[in-house]
Amino acid sequence: MTTAEELRRGVADFLAAHDPATTDRLEFLRARFDAGLAWVHYPAGLGGLGAARELQQVVDEELATAGAPDNDPHRIGIGLGMAAPTILRFGTDEQRRRYLRPLWTGEEVWCQLFSEPGAGSDLAALSTRAVRDGDDWVVDGQKVWTSLAHTAKFAILVARTDPDLPKHKGLTYFLCDMTAPGVEVRPLRQITGEAEFNEVFLTGVRIPDSQRLGEVGQGWEVAMGTLMNERVAIGGGNTEPESGMIGVVARLWRENPELRTPGLHDRLLRLWVEAEATRLTGLRLREQLAVGGPGPEGSAVKLAFARLNQQISGFEVELLGEAGLSYEDWSFRRPESTDFTSRDAGYRYLRAKGNSIEGGTSEVLRNIIAERILGLPAEPRADKDVPWKELPR
């Protein structure tokens, strides 16, 4: 069992051989992955050492102190939080070796092709088709709300491969090359003025069977693994006290005493306590990930995250008064990353509105919590055992 002290010695040896001040950034990141210091809880040879997940913080702190470059996690968050754990769990050895290293170093950015215009909250109703043609699959359909598709090299894709089966059973999961012929990405302009999201059209896109993840017809199970990881990544992403939105507002409060009122003080304290409780719950979920796949509890953390982000951003605008309404960079652009804390209050308030939709709508998450955590009766589902092709659309 690797200990924290052993890891510190390992990092010191690594830094002695790869000085961050003189080593090319990409070369440094590749060497870090190969040394098992990317994800210490991943297996040896795949960026890890088979160590406890919580020891990653030891590595990150030692490297940050040494001035080492990071892999720009805001830009590659979908790959890190969703594609990587799914490939690790369901991929072949060849797929793990091919995709995990360039994913972690940021050489290949990933996006997620799940939601569709007619199948958002009801993902299993999706209609994008994949038809087998020799050693390839030919994919036709449309996806929507695809974050950062305009920068992505690869996508995780769920498509329907058997319309004769019920909607949850006829799906298969693929790794799609976003530069392949037939892939078209169009921007979706948001309330913030920019186009972080996209719609993606797939017309006769050929995907080799070697880029199928899991078995044919296993797509729903693989997709659920992805979504559970996504919800933990979104809701449990703040690991340090006062990280994320609550940290921005707490600093604003401390630095501007003229803005304070007794009523706002009471509200801030309540938000701070809720944010801290959510953070600690997220840490517990990350510990659970070290010993198995994510469970439905991630839905509760993501639900709380969305509600808190919206309440905190609204509190910030109210605290700032007229100044909180300003948004200096309201312009059409296609950003390469999503970063709440470095933007102004107006942006945060507008962008937080999407938190209750992305990663699973709050309504769907409440159903998951009710049925899979609290054990309440499931909602009636008349279409559960009906072949997909017979469903009204």
Residues 6+ apart with CB under 8 A from 320: 252, 259, 345
Contact yes or no for 242/366 (Cβ under 8 A): no
Show the tokens assigned to 230: 């996504």
Q: Give the chain's length.
A: 393
Catalytic pick from 62, 230, 297, 316? 230
Q: The tokens 């000085």 sit on which residue?
A: 19
Please tell me whether residue 73 adopts helix, strand or coil conformation: coil
Q: How far is residue 18 from each of residues 11, 72, 94, measured CA to CA in Å? A: 10, 19, 28
Active site annotation includes 297: no
Which among 285, 349, 340 is positioned nearest to 54, based on CA atoms? 285
**For residues 168 and 166, what is the distance between their CA atoms, to the nearest angstrom?**
6
**For residues 229 and 217, what is the distance between their CA atoms, to the nearest angstrom?**
21
Which among 168, 81, 61 is positioned nearest to 388, based on CA atoms? 168
Q: For the chain, give me the number of helices (H) and strands (E)?
A: 12, 8
- Active centre residues (catalytic): 230
